[in-house]
Amino acid sequence: MARSTNTQFAVAVHVLTYLAGVTDGHPVSSEELSSSANVNAVYVRRVLGPLREAGLVRSRPGVRGGWELAGDPAGIPLAQVWSLLQGTDPVLGLHGPDPACATGRQVQKSLTTLDRTVADSVTATLRRFTVRDVLTGTLEARPSASES
């Protein structure tokens, strides 16, 4: 089975959850976050950049500096995190077929449509969960608005 190589969403959820669990108010270093997520500190900072721009986290410079959650974890839907990191990039890892091939053009058109449908479904599902749900382990399947 193919494995996704884009781990930014998973790392972002991990570090947001870690920050949400910090109860003593101290900022957390990139190194501490990278150790917890088992990824390079530079990668953690790259993932945190868009989250900071969106106001989900803040950073403090200096010796006692680091990262902090900027708000209530219950107010951070996972769909927002996904959107910040995934953007409009394809979910299915689309390829670039030969443009002169009629089959390739049709397959690409169909896969692009399918990719948008899958991306919309992922976003709709992630809208039902927050960082607090991950922190508390209450991520049981919740019915969508159309299912209730």
pLDDT at 141: 58
In this structure, which amino acid lies at residue 68? E
Q: What is the pLDDT of residues 29-42, one digit of tens each?
A: 999 999 999 999 99
Please state whether 38 falls in left (phi above 0), alpha (psi between -120 and 50) or beta. Answer: left
pLDDT at 120: 93
The reply to whether the predicted model has a pTM over 0.85 is no
User: d(Cα 70, Cα 16) in Å, to the nearest integer?
Assistant: 10
User: d(Cα 86, Cα 126) in Å, to the nearest integer?
Assistant: 13
Residue 85 and residue 95 in contact, taking contact as beta carbons nearer than 8 Å: no
Q: What confidence category does residue 5 fall into, taking pLDDT thresholds of 50, 70 and 90?
A: low
Helices (H), 22-101: 30-37, 41-53, 78-86
